[in-house]
A and B are shown apart, each in its own frame.
Chain A
Amino acid sequence: MEDKTIIELYFARDEKAIDETRKKYGARLLALSLSITEDRLDSEECVNDTYLRTWNSIPPTQPRSFFGFIAKIVRNLSLDLCDRRSAQRRSATVVELSNELEEILPDEDIGDPVLADALNSFLHSLGDEAQYIFVRRYFYSESTAVIAKRTGRSETAIDSLLYRTRKNLKKHLESEGIKL
């Protein structure tokens, strides 16, 4: 089913909307959550909560991209779940990725809209491959080994490209007046 039709089902308050969402995107949402929580039961819980959160959000929200919209929800729920865990149980992936981005820590005074604008303008400025690798790493939380397979490049090349992209992101945020 087309995303547009699924969204129409949500607007019509038709519960088939959730079934169709699960059918079309359930596996991808679970994979995304698993890459963050590293726990299947936790991830299944996050995915189920995603359906509920989506049901409660549409309407009134009209997503610009349906998958992007629900992917954000499942990612946030998975990260929230990780935050609730004790420090010992915090996912190694979350720690690793947070550490990788540790040199680019904006002040909390910077509002989300400002940060979102700066982040997205930076991503739009990247080439297709650099953007793909960055998003796979830091949004989808994938390992460099997986990204290497997806792109046909070596892990070393992925590491190198991510490193350069992080550096450029830092410069970009600073150039946008964001305090780091």
Chain B
Amino acid sequence: MKRQDLYEKMSLIDEKIIEKNSAERFKRSRKPLFISLIAAAIALSMLTAVILPGMIEIGESTDEPTQETELPSSLPLPTVLKSPSGTIGGMPSKHIGDTELESKAGYDEMLDPRVPVDDKCAIVAVKAAELLPDTYSSLTNYGNIKQRDYRIFRMRVIDPMGTDFKGEFYYALRSDLFCDLREYDQLILAVVYPHYSLYLNQASGEITRFEHLFFSLLDRPDRCNLIAFTDSVLDPSVFYTEGWQNIMPNLLDDADGYGEELSIVRYGMSFEESVSKIKQRRTEFLDSLRDSRYFDLPFEYRITSAESLKAIDHYKSPDNGVYGIIYNGDTVTATRYINGCPTNEFLKISRRSDGTETLEYSEFKFDTEDMDALVDISAYIEALDLSSLPQPTLDAYMNTPSGDLTLGYSAAAGWYEKTESGVESFVSVFRIYTFNDSKYSVYLDAMHIRLTTGTPEFLDCKALEALIGNNQYASNYYMEAAFYPLLSY
């Protein structure tokens, strides 16, 4: 049966809607003054927390370390795990659809029990000791698979600022924002620990594991969590490099202050003063950093109902687990991560057109007993023997001849599923293709490895669906998971 090209059919959009959205810039709706003031206050506190030290002192003890990250006094070289020889091949597959999870459980069930967390973030003063020569890549997925390239510095801690960062660590800076940080005398970095540690070395094609690698949250144009100093005085020159100019226009336009309206830090501030200011507000900064890492809600998204606010408080607390949040206009979905992998434990807040909210929960929650039963997926992926995998074959995709596609990557993503009969641990391995006449990518053939029983069990998509009773995993897990690039072609 012939299909309509929906892109062409977008001409059916109502004329009023077309005109309404013809403005060059999106104009956010005006809020009542008191709401604006509250939002501004929240924004200011969050931004200053992440960005730069404050001018306003808050009397708060700062000497107790809050982070548990153990670092070596000197770093081992990154480990090359495997070379990209061999092939992944084999099992037939299909593109998998999705359906909504149904919500049955109430909020109170989410509060208990407490479980271990993997939440590592810190603000620390360093000196860039080395720049690794190669570019390293990871994959992200927001509908399209995107490769993200990093340059990696070896950082030496010069002031732990109340954390346990006493040795060295690796710091990944996006290649498009590259600036040689070795040129600065000191740096203050707000860093977060990524869910994953495997990267593809672009020069050698090898998969490389970094044991102590952190990176910044740089995706927000209104935030900066890197402060550089020359001769012990704040030096904004890093932001005048090409990549930074694109994401930091507001700060660069601010000639008098250093993003005055955002950060309250100014040109001329010394390194010592900056460190002191941050130490005074460290707890607040770390809370904000954690928020920005996992709960990056736009300021205009206001949660109002008491039940939703209670839920937000729950998933913001690191004591209750780590949640990744996705904001989609009128809906906020928080997905629970364990060992860096998404699960089917989630919470969703949807805003209706009348301003009220609805709250949904997943049916299952992972408790302490479940945590003990989970397989360490990352360790399995690290040790994955590519040559042992069954050979997948490419299925036809939407009538696109295979000749129009180029194989890009093979990648793996881990995920956990709690069912009525217990918890399951899976790794999905799939190939990512690019259309030859566009940059659009698709993942086409997938195979799944069930690790639950301790002995890897290979499943195709149908077998997996039969096992867990639904086909939601493609959208709910592939999309949320960190990808481990396995092979480069």
Q: Which of A65, A103, A104, A112 contacts B16 (CB 8 A)?
A: A65
Chain A, 117-138, CB within 8 A of any chain B CB: 119-120, 123-133, 135-136, 138
B294 contacts A by Cβ under 8 Å: no
Residues of A within 8 A of B13 (CB): 72, 116, 119-120, 123, 135, 139
Residues of A within 8 A of B219 (CB): 154, 156-157
Q: How many positions in chain B have a CB within 8 Å of any CB in the partner chain?
A: 57
Q: Which of B95, B326, B435 contacts A160 (CB 8 A)?
A: B326
B256 contacts A by Cβ under 8 Å: no
Given A95-B437, A139-B10, A167-B98, do A106 and B4 touch, yes or no (CB 8 Å)? yes
Q: Max chain B CB contacts within 10 Å: which of A66, A95, A120, A130?
A: A95
B438 contacts A by Cβ under 8 Å: yes
Interface bracket on A = 35 or more
Give the residue name and chain of the A residue nearest to B12 (CB).
A116
Q: Least Cβ distance of B242 to chain A in Å?
A: 15
Residues of A within 8 A of B437 (CB): 90, 92, 95
Residues of B within 8 A of A101 (CB): 5-7
Q: Least Cβ distance of B478 to chain A in Å?
A: 12
Q: Least Cβ distance of A141 to chain B in Å?
A: 8
A151 contacts B by Cβ under 8 Å: yes
Interface contact B438-A95, CB-CB below 8 Å: yes
Interface contact A96-B440, CB-CB below 8 Å: yes
Interface contact A165-B329, CB-CB below 8 Å: yes
Give the residue name and chain of the B residue nearest to A63 (CB).
B15
Give the residue name and chain of the B residue nearest to A107 (CB).
B1
Q: Which of B105-113, B140-148, B188-196 contacts A (4 or more CB under 8 A)?
A: B140-148
Residues of A within 8 A of B142 (CB): 156, 159-160, 163
Interface contact B24-A68, CB-CB below 8 Å: no
Chain A, 95-116, CB within 8 A of any chain B CB: 95-110, 112, 115-116
Q: Least Cβ distance of A138 to chain B in Å?
A: 5
Given A72-B18, A119-B9, do A167 and B25 touch, yes or no (CB 8 Å)? no
B102 contacts A by Cβ under 8 Å: no
Interface contact A129-B140, CB-CB below 8 Å: no
Given A75-B11, A96-B440, do A68 and B17 touch, yes or no (CB 8 Å)? yes
Contact with A along B369-396 (1 / 0, CB 8 A): 0000000000000000000000000000
Interface contact B7-A138, CB-CB below 8 Å: yes
Q: Least Cβ distance of B437 to chain A in Å?
A: 5
Interface contact B6-A104, CB-CB below 8 Å: yes
Residues of A within 8 A of B100 (CB): 171
Distance between Cα atoms of A130 and B16 in the complex (Å): 16
Distance between Cα atoms of A10 and B132 in the complex (Å): 66
Residues of A within 8 A of B310 (CB): none
B306 contacts A by Cβ under 8 Å: no
Distance between Cα atoms of A102 and B351 in the complex (Å): 28
Residues of A within 8 A of B18 (CB): 65, 67-68, 71-72, 135, 139
Q: Max chain A CB contacts within 10 Å: which of B5, B6, B219?
A: B6
Distance between Cα atoms of A129 and B353 in the complex (Å): 13
Residues of A within 8 A of B330 (CB): 126-127, 130
A9 contacts B by Cβ under 8 Å: no
Given A107-B3, A131-B17, A159-B143, do A150 and B26 touch, yes or no (CB 8 Å)? yes
Q: Least Cβ distance of A178 to chain B in Å?
A: 10
Q: Least Cβ distance of A105 to chain B in Å?
A: 4
Distance between Cα atoms of A104 and B330 in the complex (Å): 21
Q: Least Cβ distance of A101 to chain B in Å?
A: 4
Q: Least Cβ distance of A61 to chain B in Å?
A: 11
Q: Least Cβ distance of A143 to chain B in Å?
A: 11
A58 contacts B by Cβ under 8 Å: no
Q: Which of B140, B221, B438 contacts A92 (CB 8 A)?
A: B438
Chain A, 141-161, CB within 8 A of any chain B CB: 150-154, 156-157, 159-161
Residues of A within 8 A of B14 (CB): 64, 68, 116, 120, 123
Residues of B within 8 A of A100 (CB): 7, 143-144, 440
Given A102-B398, A120-B12, do A163 and B143 touch, yes or no (CB 8 Å)? yes
Chain B, 427-470, CB within 8 A of any chain A CB: 435, 437-440, 442
B8 contacts A by Cβ under 8 Å: yes
B21 contacts A by Cβ under 8 Å: yes
Contact with A along B136-161 (1 / 0, CB 8 A): 00001011101000000000000000
Q: Which of A67, A107, A131, A152 contacts B19 (CB 8 A)?
A: A67
Residues of A within 8 A of B440 (CB): 95-96, 99-100
Distance between Cα atoms of A150 and B21 in the complex (Å): 11
A76 contacts B by Cβ under 8 Å: yes
Distance between Cα atoms of A123 and B221 in the complex (Å): 27
Q: List 23 A-B contacts (CB under 8 A).
A: A64-B16, A69-B15, A92-B438, A95-B440, A104-B6, A105-B4, A105-B5, A108-B2, A108-B3, A116-B13, A119-B10, A127-B330, A128-B26, A129-B28, A130-B328, A138-B10, A139-B21, A152-B222, A156-B146, A156-B219, A159-B146, A160-B326, A168-B328
A-side interface residues toward B, CB under 8 Å? 28, 63-69, 71-72, 75-76, 79, 90, 92, 94-110, 112, 115-116, 119-120, 123-133, 135-136, 138-140, 150-154, 156-157, 159-168, 171
A-B CB proximity, top 7 nearest: A68-B15, A163-B143, A130-B329, A68-B18, A105-B3, A164-B328, A116-B12
